A and B are shown apart, each in its own frame.
Chain A
Amino acid sequence: MKQSETTSLVAERGKWGYTWPLWTTLLLHLLAVFLFTAGFLLTRTELPHRSHCSDVSHSPCLSSNNGSCWTKPAANRLVLVVLDALRFDFVAPSTFFAESKPWMDRLQVLKNVASARPLSARIFKAIADPPTTSLQRLKGLTTGGLPTFVDVGNSFGAPAIVEDNFINQLVLNGKKVVMMGDDTWTQLFPHHFERSYPYPSFNVKDLHTVDNGCIDHLLPSLYEEDWDVLIAHFLGVDHAGHIFGVDSAPMIEKLEQYNTILERVIEVLENQSGPGKSHENTLLVVMGDHGQTLNGDHGGGSAEEVETAIFAMSFKKPISSVPPEFDSCSCQLDLDGKNVCVSSMQQLDFAVTVSALLGIPFPYGSIGHINPELYALGADSWNLDASQKLSESDIWMQNYANALCINSWQVKRYVDAYSASSAVGFSNDDLSRIASVYAQAENHWSHSTKKLLLDIQNDSDTLVPALKRQIDAYFKFLTTVSELARSKWTEFDLKMMGTGIGIMLISLIFQFLTILRANKQHGETLSSSGNSWVITGSVFTFFLLGIRACSFLSNSYILEEGKVANFLLSTSGIVALRQSVIKGKALIESIGFLILSTFCRFVIEVGLSKQAATSAFMKDYTSWIVNIASGLVVWDYAAEVVPMLALILLAAWLYNVTSGSFFDWPWKYVILGTILSYVLIIVHWITDSNKFGVALMAESIGRNYIPRIVYAIALGQLLLLGFGQLFMKNCLDYKANLVAKTTAMLSAWSSTVILLSGKQGPMVAFASIVGGALSFCTLSLYKISITCCIILQIHFWHGFTYATNICGLAMILTFRSQFHEHQTSCSLAKKYVFSHFFPGYFIMKFVDIEGGKQGPHRSFSILQWSLSATCLFFCSGHWYACNFQGVHLMASAMVLHL
């Protein structure tokens, strides 16, 4: 009776009258998430410009006359040893810290050299900028900029650096670069190296492959003459930190191993450094790309993570020391009673300083300044054209002032170009402030310093004070720019975030009002259809949702969200099992659901353990299956075959489904198209993998054409679907029609999704289909459909969940490192789609069809839906991919295929 009343109500108002609040809510939420993430995900535009040797003639500075490019080269060869995740306290003597720890004083050789030869070897405390992940740091080190997580203009996923960088400058200026170690370098610079010995950084548990590979090639290469710059990137310390933590025996072993290697490297270079020998003019740099916490984590902005070390040493006869004004070093006696000095610098300054030392143009987008102490290591090679009147330190200062002049001009050029080309450039106030500071320094240069420098007759008494003032003026300009850039690229836009949260709150109020309204209309329906399970069911649902919402207020729960969601999902599964025990129905479905959630749980755990592989991202083997099974050949084959079997199973299941009576012609053809796509995907995988040595067709066909065909089929399917939706009459009963439409729609999407997500795709698809089927069963089990009121309540809670999510983020952000929030917000938008839109779609479908016939306690099923969507989200490994620009990975796969 009540039922017919409601249905007539639905008929009278049309489905739009019921669904518009849902659409409005969805719109508001999307807007809120968009605004919030716009303020939260820092973006930066990459400029494609390059610096050229000839550019320097546009600058007001003195150009060198002896054929060098921008600055006079102080070193002609560079050995760059990068030790991943090198904490500052690995290098500095333990006396610099309050407490001596077991991992300190292990790299003895560096501080011994630094104390024995304070003029030609130096230890720096290098401050990196967040995000302190290897990819971003290598980018920052080589470009001299501040890379963010989302660099617009990035060539969709392929991590190769688009911006000008010092490796690129080396190649452009005819220097030969040799690389060994972490293969991230070869991904960043695919065509730059003369020779490279990349080793996979994928497996964190493997402490030795990369390091041993480095060691095998490093020492022999030192004797060779065919390179100008040698890069060796060791990963062992990073991996040891991830697996065992800093305070562990493997870490200390690794550090001691490095100590011996560095000793040998320095010995070889030393022996070859005599006049006329190959390393006469070589600079050795040993540096970390970022630090790590005691647990081995990095990525954030805490002191432990950003503080790393740079050790630089030149093998020439030391001549002069830096004038004390520019010396930032602090000295301490170490345990052996030797005096060790440690200076401090920004990692941002590394690219430009090294470029200046090597005499190549500074990277176009570099915003650092030439570090005086590091620059001073090349000091002695400039005394050739020195007049007798000036001391060496004065000559050094002349050179330095000129280098800073070029440096400032280059930074100003970049700032102008950036604000001209980027949609979200610097504000006008900031630009005019920069311009005025630059003009001031520039004035001083052209009107006094330049003249003084050109006039050789000046003695140091008049020159030196003028130079000092000049250098100070340039420092002021360069610091202003780098501060501004830091505020723009490493700090969040609180206004946008606030607006986002505000809109979220508005949408909550809106939902609340709609609920009130709907309650008024349907109040009697609700109360009359109430039975005890309905009440306890909804109480339980809201209890779980409330717990989930509250859990977002804590950072720990956000980090473990996959596990928490799975915990709640399993709990709901157990409650459903209990319910079916009471009713004695659908026992198998409930048990199946529980087994599925357990399966989900294991998949999530595998994904999380892989997430620890910080420096091991962008791999060809994105599939976790392959990751686990990389040890055995049999497993290799299994890893290849299992996804295919799963796909064949899926295809068979779909074929079975089409034989069902309620599949009309358009849906049937859509599904047949999907089966065809699956077959093509399997063929694609076979041709793609190197395991089955069968060349069924030319490789290029398999690589390029099959994905295109699959996309074309998917497009055709979607068109067909749209056509069917528009022109087919819904002659069958609603339920069957719904099932047909849903299956067709999902299958139309599935082939593309499977192709994009690689070999774990079919597993996830399989799990989601089984899960979906089971949920359908549980839905039909209760034999009750949804009223608008309940949907809105659920959405209200969802909104609340996300609002707390966002508020929690905002709260945490004020006192915690940025990295995890980056991850979270990056996944926020996608999770929103996964866990909000899909259930939302189905809810609307049900509203559409059953028009709120009766009974509100579908809420429980919707909760299950939503939780399983979240779990599947975590299963699909997006969480992991998110870390490392996985957003791009997905898109790039598609772009590459096309």
Chain B
Amino acid sequence: MDPPRRAPRTVIDPVPKFRQVGFFAPPDRSQSGPIAADTSASLSPVMIPPPRHLSDNLILHARPSNSPRRGPESITVGGSNSDAPVSPAPSSSYSSRFVVGGDRGFFDGKGKDNGKVVASSFPRGGFDLTALKGNAAASGSSIVVPASQLTTVSVVNDSLGIPEKEKTNKGGGSAGEMKDQSSSKQQKPKPTKAERRALQEAQRAAKAAAKGEGNKASGTATSVNAKQAKAVKPAQKADTASVAATEKKGGDFPPEKDRKKDAPQPRLQYDDKSRVEKAKRRSVVKQTESRNRVELFRHLPQYEHGSQLPDLEAKFFDLYPVHPAVYKVGLQYISGDISGGNDRCIAMLQAFQEAIKDYKVPPEKSLGRDLTAKIGSYVSFLNECRPLSISMGNAIRFLKSQIAKLPLTLSESEAKISLDSDIERFISEKIILANKVIVKHAVTKIRDGDVLLTYGSSLAVEMIFLHAHELGKQFRVVIVDSRPKLRGQQLLRRLVEKGLNCTYTHINAVSYVMHEVSRVFLGAESILSNGTVYSRVGTASVAMVAHASRVPVIVCCEAYKFHERVQLDSICSNELGDPDVISNVKGRVDVNHLDGWADIENLQLLNLIYDAMPSDYVSMIVTDYGMVPPTSVPVIVREYGRE
């Protein structure tokens, strides 16, 4: 659909490509087409949304071009942001680089900023990232890559001289040439790190020389850079792919300020500017990207929390495309009122039940297709509010398959009733009843005199402890908790009310406490096909310490949360939370050392939500199918899928 698609693709830096979990070969600068194809083809684990219209980017880019900020470039990989301290050492630069102004200059110089975005990304590789950072700073540097990937690239190619210095860097680093060569540069194969550093330096110089270069191109480059940067900079946190298990790419959250530096959509690799832009255009929720984003996690979305909530609340009653129940659930997600895999899934399903009840088939349309499309749009909305969790993704898949399986002979009301009961059955069987079965199996593993440890607050684990207590078993519980959420405190309160002996500690003491523990019970957000357990950040650490002390680790997870995906680390797919909660300690106003962290260039705060635990640490998984070893997860996924 987008003629520009070709162009932007070319611009996409190879680096971002490999950041997108394995589907793409680093695209050739010159080939936007194949790249586009790649990216679109590899949707599934990586969830790359369809490329945006180049025009979007153009507009976006064009606008900011005059402003000093980098703007949309977002992530041209490192190098481009001339203003950004494109330092040879990618590591340091990223966060600090706020694009402010630097990239802009880029744009101005070129005229067509958009193009730059694309180009810059490629050559940069590592540099771009840093460069972008600077540029991206303005846009919250949420998206390192996006700029480059997006269609804007094509534009950039044509137009630019690639303001992004990155581009030129690739070429050979002269700022002046950058513009012209940007397009050609993009085609170049990624330079080595040293080369990139050199480029970065040159870019920086060029940037200084040509202020206001557009940041754009760097978008993709940044992602690429990010990758390289990652390797280079130990400081960089690993990127977490935002491959939230959900299938929905959801809409992008267009940053208010810099489209280019768009926060990536879940699934969408946010360093891919064009896509991000596209998603942003379509989105309902307008999120602002955070500032000071960590390079390694550029491919994940990060927005400033709560900023759009009042705005959305105001729009509650005039939101036509989204059903009010769904809208309400979305707002609850944004504000954090509902959190936790099961709760979110149940809330979403109940909202869908309402929506289906009120649904009327438009004339001349088939129920199946139209309803599926509608559900799709709701899911996009929810995704914009907060990236979908794996449990939600599986539930949506179930719902869609049920819609697809509706016999055509059913009348509209019958179909609605059938769907309603399907959802009801899903909730009661797969969630509520499953938890009961899990409890029944797991209490057999608790003996008198045991000391049981748990982390955070998991519903299944809480039910197990309470049931074992009711059965009269004598044991005590150690609850390990961690900032910023401190969810263990709620669990502690509930257990103490029922009379259990509890000990409460923070995660920094877990290795101290572990020697007296006999069993560890953990909950999970999802379990992947290679036995990797995906759960709240900190769980993997607890399991590792338990494994080292030879304490059996028991993971309790309902079977509907299993996923056939495979993940090797916590970087490629994750979720980023609000970094401000790290800098503020509730109730301790004297701890204000991190106030104003966003203004400090070298400082980035990272608030990861999930982490991935390798299967070696897990002794046993308790599901509603019984107690299985971690190697049997794909078997259950297979059997489960057959139902």
Q: Do A and B bind each other?
A: no
